[in-house]
């Protein structure tokens, strides 16, 4: 049965194209399976892109409500909207910084360093924009000629920034998703990453270096039919537990430690601590990430490992029974 599955997987391959992309595949290797991350595997990232646009759209909508519909609103709501109109830029910056911190704390696939930095930058753009006008005014008072590259900040820039920033994030997410490709041969696993025409990252995992193979699927992933195939190798054994939070707690409660040191340690915990996950967040560079039908890939990899280590795998047993 597994022989039929493998034959079907091989029949869907264009081996010439695969060998052209994966230069490290030798002539002695037989290509068994090839795949890439499914678009559904990036759902959290695509959801974040949509959320960023909705946040900008919400601030733009509230600002417009103040201008055009304020007279018809409840007096309390109208007062709240008027207050917001005066501090909308500051509110947006504060909201985005809090949002970035919550996203980082939740420890999703979108909680990495680069995404968190991107969210912080997006939040600070309006303040930098307005601050540049203050600098222009101050410099002109002292007789300096300063050409401000930003136009005057108006509420419609919330919508423009939302379209630009979410559009860029969408573009980067699509590039990231499509940059990874995977190939399983009868001798090893190949991982390849290339973004546009930039340099190629490639990794080769011989079967004799693999300690274990696991699958990882969320409830939604099982329904849609994608998941991660985790390859545990000798140099990637279990990651040591991080006890930084426990150490921080002991340091804060230690009466012998100075108040200043406690303050900075507490600040570090508040800014950097993340919730613990039962399952590790996988990287597309270190696993067969978000591939379709992960159980099929899992069976194929296990079969190739058995054959490489001299054990009769399911393919060999099926051939012997024919």
Are 186 and 157 within one domain?
A: no
What pLDDT, on a 0 to 100 scale, did the predictor assign at position 8? Answer: 73
| Total number of domains constituting the chain | 2
What DSSP string describes 228-292? EEEEEEGGG-PPPP--HHHHHHHHHH-TTS-HHHHHHHHHHHHHH-----SSPPP-TTTEEEEEE
Half-sphere exposure of 263 (CA within 13 A, CB side): 3
93 CB-near residues (< 8 Å, 6+ apart): 123, 124, 126, 127
Give the end of a domain, one of 176, 196, 216.
176
Are 81 and 161 within one domain?
A: yes
Q: Residue 9 pLDDT more than 50?
A: yes
What DSSP string describes 207-237? GGGEEEEEEE--HHHHHHTEEEEEEEEGGG-
Lowest-pLDDT range of 42-51, 67-76, 254-263, 267-276: 67-76
Read off the pLDDT of each residue in 116-121 and give the average, rounded to a whole number.
Answer: 94
Q: Residue 191 pLDDT more than 50?
A: yes
Residue 239: band (very low, low, confident or very high) from pLDDT cuts 50, 70, 90: very low
**Residue 272, domain member (yes or no):** no
Are 117 and 152 within one domain?
A: yes
**Residue 108, domain member (yes or no):** yes
Residue 120: band (very low, low, confident or very high) from pLDDT cuts 50, 70, 90: very high
Are 58 and 127 within one domain?
A: yes
Are 198 and 210 within one domain?
A: yes
**Residue 14, domain member (yes or no):** yes
pTM, two decimal places = 0.77
Are 170 and 217 within one domain?
A: no
Could you tell me the CA-to-CA distances from 243 to 60, 266, 282 in Å, in that order?
43, 15, 21
Read off the pLDDT of each residue in 188-204 and give the average, rounded to a whole number.
Answer: 89
What pLDDT, on a 0 to 100 scale, did the predictor assign at position 270? Answer: 63
Are 80 and 140 within one domain?
A: yes
What pLDDT, on a 0 to 100 scale, did the predictor assign at position 126? Answer: 87
**Residue 246, domain member (yes or no):** no
In sign, the C-alpha dihedral spanning 93, 95, 101, 104 is: negative
Residue 194 near residue 179 (C-beta atoms within 8 A): yes
Containing domain of residue 53, as a range?
Answer: 42-176
Say what the alpha-carbon torsion angle 284, 285, 291, 296 is, to the nearest 10 degrees.
Answer: -140
**Residue 258, domain member (yes or no):** no
Residue 79: band (very low, low, confident or very high) from pLDDT cuts 50, 70, 90: low
**Residue 186, domain member (yes or no):** yes
* pLDDT tens per residue across span 133-189: 778 778 878 878 777 788 877 888 999 999 999 999 999 999 999 999 999 998 999
**Residue 130, domain member (yes or no):** yes
What pLDDT, on a 0 to 100 scale, did the predictor assign at position 252? Answer: 47
Q: Residue 75 pLDDT more than 70?
A: no
Are 234 and 137 within one domain?
A: no
Here the CATH number for the domain that contains residue 235 is 2.30.29
Give the end of a domain, one of 176, 208, 229.
176
Are 114 and 190 within one domain?
A: no
Lowest-pLDDT range of 8-22, 33-47, 186-200, 246-260: 246-260
Give the end of a domain, one of 133, 150, 176.
176
Q: Where is 204: in which H helix or E strand?
A: strand 201-206
């Amino acid at each position: 049965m597994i022989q039929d599955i493998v034959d079907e997987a091989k029949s869907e391959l264009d081996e010439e194209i695969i060998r052209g992309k994966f230069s490290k595949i030798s002539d002695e290797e037989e290509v068994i399976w090839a795949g890439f991350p499914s678009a559904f595997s990036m759902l959290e990232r695509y959801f974040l892109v949509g959320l960023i646009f909705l946040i900008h759209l919400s601030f733009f909508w509230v600002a417009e409500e103040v201008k055009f519909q304020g007279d018809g609103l409840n007096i309390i709501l109208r007062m709240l909207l008027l207050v917001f109109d005066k501090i909308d830029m500051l509110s947006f910056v504060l909201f985005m910084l809090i949002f970035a911190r919550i996203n980082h704390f939740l420890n999703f696939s979108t909680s990495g360093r680069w995404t968190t930095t991107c969210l912080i930058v997006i939040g600070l753009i309006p303040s930098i924009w307005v601050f540049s006008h203050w600098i222009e005014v101050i410099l002109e008072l002292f007789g300096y000629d300063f050409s401000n590259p930003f136009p005057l900040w108006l509420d419609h820039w919330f919508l423009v920034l939302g379209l630009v920033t979410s559009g860029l994030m969408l573009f980067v997410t699509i590039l990231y998703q499509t940059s990874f490709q995977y190939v399983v041969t009868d001798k090893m696993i190949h991982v390849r990453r290339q973004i546009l025409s930039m340099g190629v990252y490639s990794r080769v995992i011989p079967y004799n270096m693999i300690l274990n193979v696991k699958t990882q699927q969320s409830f939604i992933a099982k329904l849609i039919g994608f998941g991660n195939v985790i390859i545990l190798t000798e140099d990637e054994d279990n990651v040591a537990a991080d006890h930084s939070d426990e150490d921080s707690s002991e340091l804060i409660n230690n009466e012998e430690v100075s108040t200043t040191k406690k303050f900075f340690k507490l600040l570090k915990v508040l800014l950097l601590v993340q919730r613990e996950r039962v399952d590790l967040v996988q990287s597309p560079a270190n696993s067969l990430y978000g591939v379709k039908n992960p159980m099929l890939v899992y069976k194929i990899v296990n079969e190739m490992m058995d054959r490489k280590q001299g054990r009769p795998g399911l393919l060999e047993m099926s051939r012997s029974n024919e």
